[in-house]
Amino acid sequence: MLFAALLQVTGSESMLNPAGTAAHRISTLGWIVFITFMAVSLIMWILTAWVAVRRKGSLKEHAPYNATGGEQWILAGGIIVPLVVLTCMFVLSETTMAHFPMKQKTDPPPEIVLTGHQWWWQIQYVSGPVDQHFTTANEMHIPVGQNVDIQLRTADVIHTFWVPRLHGKMDLIPGQPNMIRIRADRPGTYRGQCSEFCGDQHANMAMLVIADPPGQYAQWVADQRADAAQPTTPDTQAGEQVFLSGPCAFCHTVRGTDAAGVVAPDLTHIASRESLAADTLVNNKANLEAWITHAQSLKPGCEMPNLTEFTGLQLRQMTDYLQTLQ
């Protein structure tokens, strides 16, 4: 009952609601520690209450009837019991942690290299069952029921990768690639949040991990590997020209066009994403227009400037074009 109620309250982004192997181990450990803590507290409160009830009068009126005794209580309660409890907790956490490969792994190589940027995530698929070389951003798809090794890097400051329903936290440290192995047991969308303060927009640096059934995953990989769709209508063709002749191409890549900037999210399949700007906005036409013209109001300080030089028509054509990039 309590368990189910807690899950309701904590929603989808909770470590108490695990959906992956590592997260299961962590939440089991969490519950054991929590229940032990509650049991110890309960015993302490009962003992304290017992003493309070038994005490009569003040110390002046009644000297303790055995002022020197009680050493066994100190020995048991102060040394033996804590030693046993803490040793059990220590062994349990060590065995839990021993299940997580920590070292940087080179053989076999990681499937994904995840690079943190202020304030978005670059996701490079570097190897896997199918030869899958492509780059995307902010939304990572993984095949359900399979281990996925991710190498964690950062382009600037320290960030932390944390998708509570799949695993614990792992830092992205400058010059020190880390490794994390995630695995989702059930298909679904699992939200993650950078959990090391990394500057003004740290709170708007989220990501989605989407676990797909195998067939769907293979389809997603095939779609992502392909170059951007060619625009087919006059409006979207004009929109592509606006995009390519504007400043966008200095920062963003759209594979299959001349846009090959590397300092910002790859937009080759931007229309296939659920959200914009690291899960800050829902991905729809209105938000695309708002983002292009007012990125600095929506995510102040981010590396994308407000781009207000476009006419209303150009802006509409450009967002029409971006929405064809499935």
Based on the shown chain and the rule CB under 6 A, indicate whether residue 120 belongs to the binding site for ligand HEC.
Answer: yes
From the list 262, 258, 255, the residue with the least C-alpha distance to 227 is 255
Based on the shown chain and the rule CB under 6 A, indicate whether residue 247 belongs to the binding site for ligand HEC.
Answer: yes
Instruction: Using CB under 5 A, pick the residue from 184, 198, 208, 228 that binds Cu ion.
Output: 198
Sheet holding 188-193, edge to edge: 139-143, 206-212, 188-193
**Could you give the CA distance from residue 305 to residue 324 in angstroms, rounded to a whole number?**
23
Q: Which is nearer to Cu ion, 30 or 199 (CB)?
A: 199
- Phi first, then psi, for residue 111 (nearest 5°) are -80, -30
Based on the shown chain and the rule CB under 5 A, indicate whether residue 302 belongs to the binding site for Cu ion.
Answer: no
* Integer CA distances (angstroms), 84 to 41, 71, 87, 89, in order: 16, 18, 5, 9
> Of residues 263-322, which lie at the interface with ligand HEC (CB under 6 A)?
264-265, 267, 270, 273, 276-278, 288, 291-292, 299, 302-305, 307
In the complex, minimum distance from the CB of residue 243 to ligand HEC, in angstroms, rounded to a whole number: 6
Based on the shown chain and the rule CB under 6 A, indicate whether residue 168 belongs to the binding site for ligand HEC.
Answer: no
- Beta strands 112-117 and 148-154: pairing type? parallel
> Of residues 150-189, which lie at the interface with Cu ion (CB under 5 A)?
159
Beta-strand (E) ranges in 54-147? 112-117, 120-125, 134-137, 139-143
Place of tokens 């290299």: 113
Q: Quote the tokens at residue 308.
A: 């207000």
The partner in contact with residue 198, picked from Cu ion, ligand HEC, none with C-beta cut-offs of 5 to 8 angstroms by kind, is Cu ion
Q: Which is nearer to Cu ion, 77 or 199 (CB)?
A: 199
Q: Which is nearer to ligand HEC, 138 or 317 (CB)?
A: 138
Q: Which residues bind ligand HEC (CB under 6 A)?
A: 119-120, 137-138, 201, 243, 246-248, 250-252, 264-265, 267, 270, 273, 276-278, 288, 291-292, 299, 302-305, 307
